[in-house]
Chain A
Amino acid sequence: MNMKLSSNLLNESPDCKRTRLSVTQVNLFYGDFQALRNITLEIPECAITAIIGPSGCGKSSFLRIFNRMNDLITGARVEGRVELDDIDIYDKSIDVVELRKRVGMVFQKPNPFPMSVFENVAFGPRRHERHGHNLGELEDIVERSLHQAALWDEVKDKLGQSALALSGGQQQRLCIARVLAVEPEVILMDEPCSALDPVATLKIEDLMRSLAEHYTIVIVTHNMQQAARVSDMAAFFMMEEDRAGVLVEYGPTSELFTNPKDKRTEDYITGRFG
């Protein structure tokens, strides 16, 4: 069905998928400081795209371009074109709130709200209710989202308890459930496992693989193994002399890791720096 070929890079991937997000010659500035320079890439739907690179190379800043989270920072400015399904998301007519409903985000540190498990998941749907969800509908949404986030069995008996009492890994899956509850199309993940132990990390990775069947996932990680394990596509970012992040190499994960085209990528993934 979605066979519209759109990029040379994607032609090489075994199952060609439609481009979901496309970034064209994007520069990101914080005041006078340029954080990203001339980034161009296309992110396919229903796949996991990993953004890797050394600390401070602008990976997180890049991720936050897609849900315009950088807007919150005074002096942040994006040049170039960023498209979601061929719509320019930095166009003046774009409703940022609607955009963030379609492009959800999971953060580095699990950030459950200080309320019950149920209210955490119901938070988004409650805010968006136009015609007013009744409690039954909300319960359905919460249960569905928790199932999707592979958390239902662990919390089904404590939906009324404080989310802060959950373990770190459970909290992060709860945050994923909270995002899933508003039925986004794209899920951005900013080092979602960096605060978790290896077992919890594996659970999140399994979850990501199953979510990738229906969602477009972009993940920032500085864990090479994680990128290799979970992602379909991988983009390697680096800092230039003036500390601006640039895209060094982008392609199917298997190729980037086994047969990198750029010497810097090779050095990085073989652990020579970073």
Chain B
Amino acid sequence: MRAGAVSKRQLSQRTAFSLLIVATIIVILPVLAIVIQIIVNGADAISLEFLTEAPSQAGKAGGILPAIVGTFYLMLGTIIVALPLGVMAGIYLTEYARDNWFTRAINLAIVNLAGVPSIVYGLFGLGVFVLLFHFGMSLLSASLTLACQALAMTVTTSREAILAVPREYREGSLAVGATRWQTIRHLVLPQASPGIITGAVLAMSRAAGETAPILVVGAAFLLPGLPQSPLDQFMALPYHLYTVAAHIPGMPKSTMWGVALVLLVVVLSFNVLATVIRLRARQRR
């Protein structure tokens, strides 16, 4: 009955459906293209030597070990500072802070912290950690600078994860005479930890990819060895990539792509790790 009307509706249904599929494909195409291009071009550069040796001839020969290690140190330093602070602030904001203008102002500030351009963090780090605190151009200054940037994320994800713990659990705990802190420590935090850890891992992966902030607080282009103390300068993958791609004439193409490939693998593997943690936590429930 009324076949015309039905087919017209089906037609528009199909058109919408096709459009949505096309849009989705367009969205993932650039990601695929980037990944494929980097793998195809960079695979040749990857060798044991490339991954385990220090660079020579201004990066044209040798490996990128100091940059890989420097990036891991940076991630570690960032999270050691940003995770505890982020979790503590998240706990305060969700469990203790009263809902007043002051709390709302803090929340607004944290949201805006995420929107500050990263080079501004770099200048802040230069002014405060390098010059004011006399940490110099160093791993420490860079870690603290990146930690400031990562705080926006760790506070936000901690807050969300803590808020997602059902109110019923808190009430049940308080109703048997547990204190607020005991409730947080033994019930809320264990429940929130997968979400908190996921946020932390994502913050680390973002720290691994940052170039602009570390540029001005301690990243060096060429260093013969690994940093020996937090006050040493360091190499890092994104900054190394920037220099070999933009500033060294006669750089073999495959070396540039090789650096990009290693950086991509580091960042993506942390993102995958975050996803795995989240999925496993969901299954457990």
Contacts and interface: CB of A to CB of B under 8 A. Distances in A.
Q: Is the interface of A mostly helix, strand, loop or mixed?
A: helix
B175 A100 contact: yes
Nearest to B183: A127
Nearest to B168: A111
B186 interface: yes
A128 B177 contact: yes
Contacts, number: 66
Interface stretch (A36-44, A174-182, A207-215, A265-273): A174-182
A127 B168 contact: no
B191 interface: yes
Given A123-B186, A127-B186, A182 B176 contact: yes
B9 interface: no
Interface residues of A, number: 27
Given A74-B98, A114-B191, A114-B285, A127 B178 contact: yes
Interface string B47-63: 00000000000000000
Interface centre among B168, B176, B182 (most CB of A within 10 A): B176
Interface in A53-102: 67, 69, 72, 74, 97-98, 100-101
Nearest to A178: B176
B225 interface: no
B173 A113 contact: yes
Interface of B: 98-99, 166, 168-169, 171-179, 182, 186-187, 191, 285
Given A69-B174, A107-B172, A127-B179, 14 more contacts: A69-B171, A72-B171, A97-B178, A98-B177, A100-B177, A107-B175, A114-B191, A123-B187, A124-B177, A124-B178, A126-B186, A127-B173, A175-B172, A179-B176
Interface of A: 67, 69, 72, 74, 97-98, 100-101, 104-105, 107, 109, 111-114, 123-124, 126-128, 164, 175, 178-179, 181-182
> Would you list the 10 A-B pairs with minimal beta carbon distance, nearest first?
A101-B177, A124-B176, A111-B168, A105-B175, A100-B177, A127-B178, A111-B172, A127-B182, A182-B176, A97-B177
